[in-house]
Amino acid sequence: MATLSSFLLATSLVLAGCAGGGGGNASGTAGGGGTAGKPHVLKVANYFATDHPQNVALREKFKPMVEEKSGGSLQVQIYDNSKLGAEKEFYDGVRNGTIEMGIPGLIMQADVPKMAVGEWPFLFKDFAHAKKVLEGPIGKEMTDEMESKHGVHALAWSANGFRMFSSNRPIASVNDFQGMRIRMPNIPNYIKLGQLLGANITPMPISEVFTALEQKVVDGQDNPIATLKASGWYEVQTDVLESKHMFSPNLYIINGKLWSQLTPEQQRILEEAAKAAADYEWELLEKSYEDDKKFLQEKGIRFTTPDESFRQAMETAAGPLYDEIYQTYPWAKEMVEKIKAEAK
């Protein structure tokens, strides 16, 4: 009996030690210093064509970085080309949590007015100027209210590029805008600018633009030429005006509630991957301009570069929009001055 009791006691101690060690290792693996966390599938929605630099960057940078560095606890699924709805639909999906992530433009500006700054006309000199502003204190100030007002957390600024008008006839002066039917996003600043230039503006989702151009419901549209190429609109257009009338940024966002549920390490991984992918996309987009232009010219697209007087005429036409902005938002004039100062 004494021998049996000693054996049972020793066995129980060994089992207790194993249980304790196993629990410690399991805790260490699950916590992993905060690396593993609860697994999540991240649907990332956007409206860009599959081969647009936004989706190239998502595939080549964001997805592999997130999945590898999270040890598989974060899985990325990319839904391009408006597969989860047009911009408003997928942005609302991120807000309410049915979609985890998205890369919208500045559609939220109606409720978050400072987000509109990125698309005020003739404000940015070049890519370097836009990137410096958006990635600095001004860009942070623009996104500060997004989480409290819309429940989405901003991760990184990316670029859509400088917008230009494509059309089915040349635009050689401001007078050529008169009566032209142009599709622009359903955003007040866009619509007002188009009207000030003399065009008749028809707002519609980007997914409907090709058909509208093909059926001549509209005569033209405005977007960076990377979008013109990737979306195939060159098949139903003949001309591009290199107006660079507006810079159009995009933003990596994630549902705020989901963000708060992630471990600090998962959050760090997403921030680093979003920044790396966005930087890559900026680089791809800027470098692709001349290649895109050559491609479009080979497809028969004629480019018109406005001279200084034409450009000045467009900027003058946009003046009343700035007057309206300054009257509406007391902070706007100072912010415009700060942005222009960053170009020096």
Confidence of residue 187 (pLDDT cuts 50, 70, 90): confident
| Domain membership flag for residue 3 | no
Asked if residue 289 is part of any domain, the answer here is: yes
Instruction: Please check the confidence at residue 308 and state whether its pLDDT lies above 70.
Output: yes
Predicted confidence band of residue 85 (pLDDT cuts 50, 70, 90): very high
For the record, the structure tokens of 172 come out as 């050689």
Q: How confident is the model over 208-231, as a mean pLDDT?
A: 95
23 in a structural domain: no
Q: Could you tell me if residue 33 is inside a domain?
A: no
* SS3 assignment, position 151: coil
Residue found by looking up tokens 């980007």 in the block: 206
DSSP per position, 118-141 = GG-TT---SHHHHHHHHTSHHHHH
Residue 1 lies in a domain: no
Structural domain count of the chain: 1
Tokens describing residue 25: 């290792």
Q: What is the mean pLDDT of residues 198-209?
A: 94
Query: What CATH code is carried by the domain that includes residue 236?
Result: 3.40.190.170
Residues 6+ apart with CB under 8 A from 182: 165, 167, 194, 199, 200, 201, 202, 218, 219, 220, 221, 222
pLDDT confidence of residue 36: 63
Greatest alpha-carbon pair distance for the chain in Å reads: 108
Q: Establish if 7 belongs to a structural domain.
A: no
Q: What percent of the chain has pLDDT over 90?
A: 86
What average pLDDT does range 118-126 have in this prediction?
95
Closest by Cα among 268, 224, 195, 194 to 130 = 224
Mean pLDDT to the nearest integer, 258-262: 97
139, 157 contact by CB (below 8 A): yes
Ramachandran sector of residue 304 (left: φ over 0; alpha: ψ -120 to 50; beta: rest): beta
Q: Is residue 24 part of a domain?
A: no
Mean pLDDT of the chain: 90
What is the pLDDT averaged over residues 304-328? 97
Of residues 13 and 276, the one with the higher pLDDT is: 276
Q: What's the pTM?
A: 0.83
pLDDT tens per residue, range 29-41: 333 334 567 999 9
pLDDT in tens, 149-186: 999 999 999 999 999 999 999 999 999 999 999 999 98
Q: At CB < 8 A and 24+ separation, what contacts does 207-216 make?
A: 207/47, 207/81, 207/82, 207/86, 209/183, 209/233, 210/235, 210/236, 212/183, 213/168, 213/183, 213/237, 216/168
What token pair was written down for 315? 């900027």
- What's the whole-number mean pLDDT along residues 225-251? 95
- Per-residue pLDDT, averaged over 297-317, amounts to 97
Residue 164 within any structural domain of the chain: yes
Q: 332-341 and 319-328 are packed helices; what angle lies between their axes, rounded to 10 degrees?
A: 120
C-alpha pair distances (Å), 218 with each of 33, 54, 171, 201, 209: 56, 26, 15, 9, 9
- Write the pLDDT tens digit of every residue in 15-73: 344 444 333 333 333 333 345 679 999 999 999 999 999 999 999 999 999 999 999 99
Instruction: Indicate the pairing of strand 152-167 with strand 200-203.
Output: unpaired
- The H or E element that residue 23 is part of is helix 2-31
Query: How open is the CA angle 326-203-329, to the nearest 5 degrees?
Result: 15
The residue range of the domain holding 332 is 38-341
